Structure 1
Amino acid sequence: MLSAVTKCLLSNSVAGIRMMSHSSLSGKVAIVTASTDGIGLAAAQALGKRGAHVVVSSRRQANVDKAVELLRSEKIKVTGTTCNVGKSEDREKLVNMTLEECGGVDILVSNAAVNPFFGNILDSTEAVWDKILDVNVKAAFLLTKLVVPHMEKRGGGSVVFVSSVAGYQPFQALGPYSVSKTALLGLTRALAPELAQSNVRVNCVAPGIIKTRFSSALWASEDMVDEFKKQLSIKRLGEPEDIGGVIAFLCSDDASYITGETVTVTGGMNCRL
């Protein structure tokens, strides 16, 4: 009887070790854009706590310094730099610095986004569309193009785009932004089969209403929050950590058979079949 119990405990212990190593990102290097606040910071924390060396960035050095200090206090391996993903020289600097400091890149989380317009979509200007598409879509693709050759050298990698529930159901007064998030759903599907032959997986996360500074206009008033809650099965707004964990999962070996997919993290908001 005792030997049987011991055998069972040893078996479960080995299984536990396997599970831990399976989801571990130890030795991986992860670039996360717009990662000094909100969803980006939560993604960096989730990846870092699973063992990845994270490279965080923001347009402002003060924000980078603050995020690096926080992550280091949480015993996370981190490197930080300024980066405006809308500028080609900044994208190249981000990737080159990652290679020099960390020796390679395994993961890209493309989280950077802008929304300079709020109103009737027909009132949006060409400059608005250029800005939104340059940062939200084109930069996501061009960063992927930069990092893929380096992922290939390391045997593969993982790319995660951060879209939005607005990509499925456009938000009122956020037409151009919503369209840019729909484009990321298509970019995920277009890239996944081409990069699979290089063992690079491409997936997407579509958050619902998450309490971040970027989305504060959507949850600033109690009346707006109450209206959103009527659409939710889980009667609360999301937190950045709710998204960070899903991103880390998609970058782990636990998701090794997942590519070309978009995971909606919405608290049960009805946005797709």
Structure 2
Amino acid sequence: MSHSSLFDLRDKVAIITGSSRGLGLASAKGMAEHGARVVISGRKADACEAAAAEIRAMGGQAIAVPCNISRKEEVQNLVDSAVKEWGRVDIVMANAAIHPWIGSVLDLQEETFNKFMQVNVQSSIWLAQMTVPGMVERGYGRFIVVASIVGLLGDSMTGTYGLTKAADMQLVRNLANEFASKGVTANCIAPGTFKTEMARSQWEDPAMVEWYRARNPSQRFGEVEEIAGLAVMLASPSGGYINGQTIAADGGHTISFR
């Protein structure tokens, strides 16, 4: 296998949710650079179109399909649009998620819990139900869920978000068990804190920066581009024997005792 074919995504079609900015956009750009035809998705149509235009400007192939992943009919439209444009879906990166509340589990309201689960877990299950059968049929598929290291660690304040991310980690283990023999892989990427809009309150807070530097072996936050290579690897032929795993991209946060 030549160096280039290791990460060759030519003729592959990839849906990346939450890809108008941040980790999703960086991953979409990475996949497009390696030949994938990418579907940019997010809630805001103008932001999606701008991101798709950015990829096309660098020579990649991209379309924009706005989607609120909490609504099943919109998720179905996302998949249908990809199939209508390019005939199939080979790669799904379920990256979009919400973090609407922080607090003790003792104060967790049912409607808040239901919202967390609907967006962060149910949407990934819908995406799997809508795309994995086609992947199995063709003998090639990559299902990637962006989780978080808070799904690996206990936390008194962000624990509900972590609970949904732990559920995503179990989902990929289940999918891997069922479909590994059919050429379909399912894995999680568990980011630490990256310099994204979603985490802005953390990396702009001097106290949080100081704490993170003391706690994290890399002594810094992640840059969004540092997710792209992992996403490409898991989406490509190189990732074919990695299945059911959760890979932390966290600067060493989860392996440090400090």
- TM-score category of the 2 structures, normalised to the smaller one: over 0.9
What is the aligned partner in structure 1 of residue 10 from structure 2?
26
The whole-number CA distance in structure 1 between the counterparts of 2:61 and 2:193 is: 30
The separation in 2 between residues aligned to 1:71 and 1:170, in whole angstroms, is 38
* Cα displacement (A) at 1:171: 4.0
The corresponding residue for 2:175 is 191
1:216, CA displacement in angstroms?
A: 1.4
Q: Deviations over 1:121-171 (max 9, x none)?
A: 222211111111001011101111110122123222100010001001144
Distance 2:204 2:139 in 1: 45
Write the mapping of 1:68-107 to structure 2, written as runs, cut at 5 A. 68-107=52-91
TM-score normalised to the size of structure 2? 0.95
Question: 1:28-60 CA distances to partner (integer Å, 9 max, x unpaired)?
Answer: 000001110111111101111111000011111
- Looking at structure 2, the residues matched to 241 and 171 of structure 1 have their Cα atoms a distance apart, in angstroms, of 27
Quote the residue 1:132 is aligned against.
116
What is residue 129 of structure 2 aligned with on the other side? 145
State the Cα distance separating 1:172 from its structure 2 match: 4.3
Structure 1 residues 259-268 or 111-120, which shifts more? 111-120
Secondary structure in structure 2 of the residue aligned to 1:197: helix
Number of the residue aligned with 1:265: 249
- Structure 1: give runs of 5+ residues left out of the alignment: 1-14
The letter of the residue matching 2:218 is I
Question: Does the 8 Å CA contact 1:121/1:174 hold for their aligned counterparts?
Answer: no
**Cα separation, partners in 2 of 1:99 and 1:272, compared to 1, 3 Å:** farther
Identity %: 34
- Aligned partner (choices 206, 209, 216) of residue 222 of structure 1: 206
**Paired letter, 1:96:** D
- For 2:95, the aligned partner's letter is N
Structure-1-length-normalised TM-score:
0.90
Report the residue type matching 1:219 in the other structure.
W
Aligned pair count? 257
- Report the secondary structure of 2:190's partner residue: strand
Q: Please state how far the C-alpha of 1:217 moved relative to its aligned partner.
A: 2.0
CA-atom RMSD in angstroms:
1.5
The within-5 A match list for 1:153-232 is 153-232=137-216
Letter in 2 for 1:68: A
Question: Would you identify which runs of 4 or more consecutive aligned residues in structure 1 move more than 6 Å?
Answer: none
Whether the aligned pair in 2 keeps the contact of 1:117 and 1:128 (CA below 8 Å) is yes
Tell me, yes or no, if the aligned pair for 2:53 and 2:62 is still in contact at 8 Å: no
After superposition, the Cα gap between the structure-2 partners of 1:115 and 1:142, relative to the gap in structure 1 and judged at 3 Å, is: same
The separation in 2 between residues aligned to 1:62 and 1:170, in whole angstroms, is: 37
Over alpha carbons, which structure has the higher Rg? 1
**Corresponding residue to 1:241 among 225, 230, 240:** 225
1:86 match: secondary structure: coil
CA distance in 2, matches of 1:171, 1:76: 40
Give the whole-Å Cα distance in 1 for the aligned partners of 2:150 and 2:34. Answer: 30
